[in-house]
Every structure is written in structure tokens, then in C-alpha cells.
Amino acid sequence: MSPAMTPALTVRGATRRFGARLAVDGVNLDLHAGRITALLGPSGCGKSTLLRMIAGLEPMDEGTIHAEGWLLSDPARSTPPEARGVGLVFQDYALFPHLSVADNVAFGLKRLPRAERRNTALEWLDTVHLADRADAWPHMLSGGEQQRVALVRALARRPHTVLLDEPFSGLDRHLKSEVRQTLMDALRAADAAVLMVTHDAEEALLMADDLVLMDKGRILQTGAPEETYLQPVSLAAARLLGEAELLAAEVRVGVATTAFGALPAPDAPDGPAWVMIRPGDAFIATEGAAATVVAVAFGGPFIEVKVHAAGQTLRLRTTGSVALSIGEAIRVTLNADRVRLYPRA
């Protein structure tokens, strides 16, 4: 591996137990400088516990964590959080209410002279367009502004790794999109390794260079967002990344037959299988499998249609303006390039 690809932080075999429950189960993870890694999983899957282990706020029962060649944690020892070179942005931002915005950012810069601390804080605030709020109190800021302050407070110490715990959970949808790009620009300018914990698939796909899927304490899949979305290794992985429809199929000599048509399955063994397809990858067409409309719902930029054929139902989405009515006969095709097959026990 070239020096440029050497991880800034490595986790090997990380395990954490709470009584008989394995919260984190033998996790391996690499974080690289200048790259944003999104750790995506449902609530309770162990992702926040793993983040706290990396930060030094949670002990390890097994495994090791190294950063830039130095051991940070193993079951016998743990470097204190403040000595790890890791910046942590909490879910609730955790700004100090008795300090001004500038003093919050300067809090970790006590080794610098006072004037230099102030100037450094102002420079960081300028990167997120908040230099004019330097003397405000945290309670005077909006949620999005507080989040940006929390981020530059973490970045001001020039950490090798930045940990973000559900960074957009407290923001409404409008603020999320408004703040996201500003945060990404600041993170990339800092050139730190970034780990963002989230349960929001859209957020993870939009922000990540590297995507890690986690469930029940284990890593299911790691890869580029597009690769992970299009080629999930399991049904559990597919469902973490968005709505997934399942169709029963029978595979024979390289063809998977479903109630909504046949699909090529050149590498699949003969026998029962599941076909996974997302609602946006099934289409109403002039040719295809015969189906009956059983429900129609308006979704703003799309119409969601539930159809029935040969004992199975399927949801699809259309942006067409053609009005559909319940009981109407239509034809449906599936995007063969976007479906995935999985064995069916």
C-alpha cells in the first residue's frame, strides 16, 4: 500500500459487550485522510458505541485501535480522549453555553497566546460563514449555526480524525440541505479522516466517499456509495440503503421467473430465489407482464402505484401524468440491470 493510501486510523477486531449482548462484534475499519466515511445502520446496531470507542469514551473488550502508527486502545490500555488527536462533534453539538461562539471554537487552543487563539477561531468561523457571529452566545444561534460552530471547534485543533455522531439529526430537511455542503467543504479543507455515524441512507449516499453498512454489531458491507447501493451483498444491506421490494422467483438455467416477468440470472443456481428491486426500478410500459392496479398515492414528484400479478404485489413509482385508477389493467417491466438475486431458504 502506498503512503498516500495508509489509513489515518485503523480499527481491528473491535468488540464491546454489555452483559450478554454484543454491541460491537469484531469490527474492522479503515479511515483515510481527506475522505468522508459514512457508517450507516439502524438505531441500536452499535455504530455510536463504535464511535465512542474510537473517541476513547468507551473501553474495548477485544481488538485494537491505531492512529498514525500509534496504539490508541486495546483491552489493557486506553489513550485519554484529549490526547488522541481525534475531534468529536456530538449529536446535540454540546457547545459551552457560558462561552461566546469564538471562545467555544478557541477552547481547545489553550497552548496558543490569547490573541492568536482569537484570530484562529475567527479564521475557522469564516470557513463556515459565521465570523459575524463570533461574539454571540450559543443560544442565540439557529440549529444549523450551532452545528457549524461545533464542527469548527472540533477542526480547530487540527485532529487527524473527526467523528460526527448523527450530525444532521436535529435539523429539518431544509436546513440539512443548506448546511450539508458548507460542512463538507470545511471537512475536505481540513484534510482529516472523517467518520460520520448516521441512520439516514440519503445523507450517507450524498456525503460519503466510503460507505460502511452496519447491523447487529457487525459490518455487512464496505464500498463506494454507488457500488454499495447497486450491489448490496445481502437483503439486510439492501434495506439499509432504501426501500426494497421482494419478489419470489424460480431460477432455471440462468433465468429467474417472477410474477412480473423473467430476468437474466446467469450466475444464480437453480432453485427458489428472492429478486430485490427498488420502487424506482419498475415501470409501467406498453409491453411487459400483465398486472392490476390496487392502490395509487400521490408522492409529490412521483406517483406511487401498487400493482398485483399472480398472487404477488409490487410498488413502483412513476413521474408520468397519466391518471391511473384502482382495478385498471396495465403492463409492468423491471430494470434487469438494477435487480439483485438472493437465495431463498
In this structure, the answer to whether residues 308 and 190 fall within a common structural domain is no
Task: For residue 312, give every residue at least 6 positions away whose Cβ sits within 8 Å of its Cβ, in sequence order, or none.
Answer: 247, 248, 258, 259, 260
pLDDT digits (tens, 9 = 90+) for 77-128: 999 999 999 999 887 778 999 999 999 999 988 888 989 999 999 999 998 8
pLDDT above 80: residue 173: no
pLDDT in tens, 19-57: 999 999 999 999 999 999 999 999 999 999 999 999 999
Q: Which of 199, 218, 240 is the last residue of a domain?
A: 240
* Pair 251, 233 in one domain: no
Among 240, 275, 305, the domain boundary falls at: 240
Sequence-separated contacts (24+) of 216-222 with Cβ below 8 Å:
216/25, 216/45, 216/46, 217/22, 217/23, 217/24, 217/25, 217/27, 217/45, 217/46, 218/25, 218/26, 218/27, 219/27, 219/28, 219/29
Cβ contact 274:235 at 8 Å: yes
| pLDDT > 90 in the chain, percent | 74
| Residue 167 pLDDT exceeds 50 | yes
Number of domains making up the chain: 2
Share of the chain above pLDDT 70, in %: 98
Residues 194 and 177 grouped into a single domain: yes
Contact 112, 121 (CB under 8 A): no
CB under 8 Å to 129, separation ≥6 — which residues? Answer: 148, 182
Q: Domain check: are 82 and 112 in the same one?
A: yes
Residue 277 confidence (pLDDT): 94
**Together in a domain, 10 and 108:** yes
* Range name among 172-176, 261-265, 281-285, 300-304 with the lowest pLDDT average: 172-176
74 and 110, same domain (yes or no): yes
Residues 307 and 225 grouped into a single domain: no
Tell me the pLDDT tens digit for each residue of 234-250. 999 999 999 999 999 99
Higher pLDDT, 275 or 180: 275
Grid coordinates representing 284 are 409501467
Cα–Cα distance measured from residue 186 to residue 238, given in angstroms and rounded to the nearest whole number = 31
pLDDT at 140 over 70: yes
Does residue 202 share a domain with residue 285?
no
Structural domain including 170 reads 3-240
Whether the predicted pLDDT of 176 surpasses 90: no
Bridge-based pairing of strands 161-165 and 193-198 is: parallel
In this predicted model, which residue has the larger pLDDT, 240 or 186? 240
Shared domain check, 142 and 280: no
Question: What's the CATH code of the domain at 69?
Answer: 3.40.50.300
Q: End of a domain among 240, 267, 285?
A: 240
pLDDT bin (cut points 50, 70, 90) of residue 3 is very low
Q: Above 50 in pLDDT, residue 2?
A: no
Domain match, 79 and 46 both: yes
Residue 6 pLDDT > 90 = no
- Is 303 in the same domain as 222? no
CATH number, domain at 339? 2.40.50.140
In this structure, what C-alpha cell is assigned to residue 132? Answer: 459575524
Same domain, 213 and 146: yes
**CA dist list (Å): 313 to 75, 213, 255, 258, 280:** 51, 28, 21, 11, 15
Instruction: Classify residue 321 by its DSSP letter.
Output: -
Helix ranges restricted to H, 133-200: 143-155, 173-190
